[in-house]
Amino acid sequence: MEVTVNCAEACVNGCVLGDKCPHREYVSTASSFIQETSLDKMLEMADEAVRKKRMQPPQWVIPDFPE
């Protein structure tokens, strides 16, 4: 039986599935990024992403109303 877990909610304090986690392949990539990237660089990257997001034109969502 396969267990479905919402990782964004259940794994806030760490993975609840351990070695059975379907996202284990990303652990080494994320760990090396954290080890090799300074906090200042991470904050700079986040600031740049926010700046790019703010410069995008607004996206309007027009709901479909039933006739």
Q: Which portions of the chain are predicted below pLDDT 70?
A: 1-3
Q: What share of the chain has pLDDT > 70, as a percent?
A: 96
Q: How far apart, in whole angstroms, are the C-alpha atoms of residue 42 and residue 35?
A: 11
**Which pLDDT score, from 0 to 100, does residue 15 have?**
84
**Which pLDDT score, from 0 to 100, does residue 3 have?**
64
Q: How far apart, in whole angstroms, are the C-alpha atoms of residue 67 and residue 9?
A: 38
Structure tokens at 19: 């070695």
**Which pLDDT score, from 0 to 100, does residue 34 have?**
93
